[in-house]
Structure 1
Amino acid sequence: CVDIQKGFEMRVPFPLLILLLATCCSCHGRLDEELRPPLPPPEIPTSTTAATSTLIATRLSRVSARSQSDTDLDCFHVPEEVCKDDFLWKDSDENAPKSKCRRLEDIPEAVVCCNVTRFTLLESLSLAGLNGSNKIRALHVRNATMDSLDLSEPRYKQLTSISITDGNITRLAGEFTKMTSVTCLNVSNNNINSIEPRALSNLYDLVMLDLSHNNLTRMPNFRKPEKNFTIDIMGNDGMLCKSVTETMNNTGPGGSINFNHVNETFCASSLKYQWFNSTEMITLRNVLFVHQLESECKNILNQSKNYVPCTCQPSRMDMVQGRPATLSVGVDCSYRKLTSLPEHLPPNTYKLNITGNNITSLSALNDDPIYQYIRELIAKDNQIESISDLEGTKFMDNFMILDLSNNALKTIHAYILSNSFDRNNDRRKVFLGGNRLHCDCNTAKVLKVWLLGKRNFIPDYNAIECGNSPSKVIDLAESKMCQSLRDWTDYIYYIIAVEVILLVCLILKVTYDYWIFKTAGYLPWPANKMPKLPCDWLCET
């Protein structure tokens, strides 16, 4: 471009000068455009398919990797947003048949179906390429609406992961064909209320089953797992605990069944009361706890640290408003030749039966923290000698039944039991019958009266006997048991009276003899027969 200053020195005509200025400005603008960094290309809206595919790529890689361990295999699952992605579901050919299933572009081994019915599902699977001859290994169907889902579809045989979720399906019909390779089956959130008995019988490789958030009342039948098997039944509010327990016992050699969300999963337990029946919801953790009682019982030790073959069973259910019901355990260690209270009781032990052993002390009630939660202690037919070990224990604050009948108690410390009786109603019971106490005056005056006053708490109060007397404590007579001091006092009074009488008689006899001697002049015959003594001269005149 021409320099403007030089244009003025050359005296260029005004029209030409205007033309030169315009030319220079245009040239300068083009130079600026060439030197300015290029602008980024305009953003073009993209589909969420890539992002979604990236999120689930890790999971699917394990689905497609056949060399991966079965226990590490996760279910193929896509988020709800995939079904709302218009770009994914837009057909390039408007004349092509409409399909409700798509293969993900970044994950060709997976098929996603949305908003299908029983008829459109099979057709859409064919259009998506699931024909049994390709490498499709995972399927996720969302929002399916149908009365029943036919599991006998042959094309399911090639899949390793099947997820049919968030729909409205009432029933699972048919059964998977033989040699089906499914390791993970997810049919959650579908309102399913029934599954045919043999529906899952051919799934030999199944390691993960998700039945959560349906309307099932019984567990489905499946082959006994011979390896770790995981199942989720959360959200089936009508599921029966009995059916869950049967499933827990249905394991093959080396297999185990693991439940997900045990604290949030509930099952129904039927309870029978005196005049009505009730159904209580129990957490799955409590059901598992009951199932593990057999192994917990094997950890109970005796005084020699040897295992004791006790038996454990659910004893009662504790229901507190606003909290899940909890199960308590009853432990039976009766007739096990124990010489002390057993150790390592299972948690939540409510009742302990140690009948028919050789236990002599209850000191463990004060030493072992597990005993403070026991409500019923049945310790009859032992050799317990005293209840003084119970004083100050938390067991005495919480117990409901204490059975010490037929033991070796010699005395009963009434004040220890009175403190517990005074703080509670008549529900607390203590059995003391068959003990042979050492009875004395205090037993007749105090203990007998105490037993009569506490007979609501001591049902067998009339069966407590005396070891040193052939009578029951309740039959003791205070007049017989408290006579020792009164008898000696009476004898002293009698002796004194006799001595006084004898003294009076002696005085009267001496006076009479003296009068006879003065009047008649002779001594009484005892005096005549007696020999003279050296001191007799004092009496002679």
Structure 2
Amino acid sequence: MFIFDQIFILVLLNFVLVNCKNCDEHCFSDSSKPCEKVNEPKCFISTICQNAVVCCRLNDNLDEYLVSDNITFSTKNINYLHILNSNFNNFTLSMSKWLKNLKSLAVTNGRLKQFNPILKKMSPLECLNLSSNSLTTVGSLKYAGKLRTLDLSNNSLPDIPDEIPQTSPNIKIDISDNQLSCDNLSKGLKSSKYKNLDFENPNNTWCILTKNKQIWIDYPGRLSLSALEKLSENQTNCAIPNCKCGIHRVDTSNSKLWTTVDCSNAKLQELPKLLPENCFSLNVSYNNISSLKGIHNPSYDSLSELDAQHNLITSIDDLEGSKFIDNFRRLDLRNNSITSISTHPFRFDRASQKELSLGYNYIECDCNVAKTLKEWLRINDKDIKDKEEVFCKGKLGKVIDLDPSELCRKDPSLTDYIYYIIAAEVLLLTLLIAKVSYDYWVFKGTGYLPWPASKMPKLPCDWLCE
């Protein structure tokens, strides 16, 4: 019986060798679902090509299964190996007689947690596919000098493996659907660690964000590799001297990157002339900026947050007509030199989510401020949290505490004197009309001219009248 089994296997092996060709591709993965009807650990020659072996449902000891299944052709002919549905947690790729000539190794759809390529000399391995496992660790691949494709997708890896060979051309790597850390991935992108890697499927390669960064106001939880590469480029190419470019948030639907710029303590005399694309937040606090004229620059059109506290700004009139004043979410102008506040550029309503800070500016207070600005601060207290810290120059105290009845009592002015003069003239005119009327009445009755008229010298017209 044993002899018949051997003959059958040899006939089958000969049939396979005759009817299938060698694999030409450097990556091999048997897509014919060869393990569907296999219920026990087993290795056999692939029906796709004659120099490829497929193993199903292995528990351990690969060599044992290869020998037991009578795959006795020369080991130099095993160039492609695909292990499916394995039950082992650890796999060691060594230079054993069965594996030393491998061009492609695929261990997929199993329970693999660790992969240890123990190679002591250069390996001919060109393709390594470890997708759809539970990998948390991949050892050094520095001796895989011919590696061209590395598929680590759908695992639990926190980072890209260390010691990837510096090959040319670059290695195509797919590390989508893992548990990557954005911090680790970002460090690798900034350094030369990944310079020889071409990332496949970048839009579905996500990394996990740490929640302890204050810049993540709208915390998305994860970030795509495409967005992270943009972030790395943005931070590297921040063209504003003494400033740091960062990220505010990412729209996960389109990977649109909203950036931030921090120019605090940068010794600026004016606002930066050019902001990065989609700049959401600008911090220019603790500088020597005296004007907000640059706010009308088109690169400020996306800006929603401006922190300009502790500067030398004297007026906010430059904000009028800008896109920023219509769309802002936060504006901090505390501790400046603003002496007057025009309220009409600002539009607040019950639905608005805006935050305006004006504290520790000292205003020139008059009757108009006591009536208009005080009421404006009171009505918009939801948006102006520091209304109690807006002061008047001198000893008048807080703007919010001004008493209009006190400040609106006017001292005599030139206008008041003009009113008095007009009143006096009206009175004199009334007296003059009354005197002329009286004189006319006396002259009519007695024919006697009053004393002022009788003493007046005669004019030429009087002689003519006589």
TM (norm. structure 1) is 0.60
Aligned equivalent of 1:311: 244
Q: State yes or no: 1:187 paired with 2:114.
A: no
- Give the C-alpha shift of residue 210 in structure 1: 0.9
- State which of 316, 337, 349 in structure 1 corresponds to 2:267: 337
Aligned equivalent of 1:520: none
Q: Distance in 2 between matches of 1:395 and 1:222?
A: 46
Cα contact 2:30–2:46 (8 A) shared by 1 = no
Q: Distance in 2 between matches of 1:145 and 1:49?
A: 29
- Give the C-alpha shift of residue 223 in structure 1: 0.5
- Give the C-alpha shift of residue 226 in structure 1: 3.8
Q: Distance in 2 between matches of 1:385 and 1:160?
A: 72
**Are the structure 2 counterparts of residues 186 and 78 from structure 1 closer, same or farther at C-alpha, using a change threshold of 3 Å?**
closer
Aligned equivalent of 2:105: 162
Cα contact 1:380–1:405 (8 A) shared by 2 = yes
Aligned equivalent of 2:380: 454
Amino acid at match of 1:168: G
Aligned equivalent of 2:306: 377
Q: State yes or no: 1:231 paired with 2:160.
A: no
Structure 1, unpaired ranges of 5+: 1-46, 64-75, 90-97, 301-307, 501-534, 536-541
Please give the secondary structure, in 2, of the residue aligned with 1:377: strand
Aligned equivalent of 1:429: 355
- Give the C-alpha shift of residue 279 in structure 1: 9.2
Q: Which has the higher helix share?
A: 1
Aligned equivalent of 1:218: 158
Aligned equivalent of 1:262: 202
**Are the structure 2 counterparts of residues 489 and 85 from structure 1 closer, same or farther at C-alpha, using a change threshold of 3 Å?**
closer
Q: State yes or no: 1:357 paired with 2:287.
A: yes
Aligned equivalent of 1:112: 53
**Are the structure 2 counterparts of residues 113 and 344 from structure 1 closer, same or farther at C-alpha, using a change threshold of 3 Å?**
farther
Q: Distance in 2 between matches of 1:392 and 1:52?
A: 75
- Give the C-alpha shift of residue 310 in structure 1: 1.0
- Give the C-alpha shift of residue 332 in structure 1: 0.7
Q: Distance in 2 between matches of 1:486 and 1:354?
A: 44
Q: Distance in 2 between matches of 1:359 and 1:52?
A: 77
TM (norm. structure 2) is 0.69
**Are the structure 2 counterparts of residues 444 and 85 from structure 1 closer, same or farther at C-alpha, using a change threshold of 3 Å?**
closer
Alignment of 1:77-476 (within 5 A): 77-81=28-32, 83=34, 100-102=43-45, 110-118=51-59, 121-123=62-64, 125=66, 128=71, 134=76, 136-152=78-94, 154=96, 155-165=98-108, 167-181=109-123, 182-189=125-132, 191-195=133-137, 198=139, 200=141, 202-214=143-155, 216-219=156-159, 221-223=161-163, 226=166, 228-236=170-178, 238-245=179-186, 247-248=188-189, 251-252=192-193, 255-271=195-211, 280-297=221-238, 299-300=239-240, 308-315=241-248, 317=249, 323=253, 328-368=258-298, 370-417=299-346, 419=347, 421-422=348-349, 424-425=351-352, 427-466=353-392, 469-472=394-397, 474=399, 475-476=401-402
Query: Greater CA deviation, 216-225 or 478-487?
Result: 478-487
Question: What number of residue pairs does the alignment pair up?
Answer: 398
Q: Which has the larger radius of gyration?
A: 1
- Give the C-alpha shift of residue 293 in structure 1: 3.8
- Give the C-alpha shift of residue 428 in structure 1: 2.0
Please give the secondary structure, in 2, of the residue aligned with 1:433: coil
- Give the C-alpha shift of residue 80 in structure 1: 1.1
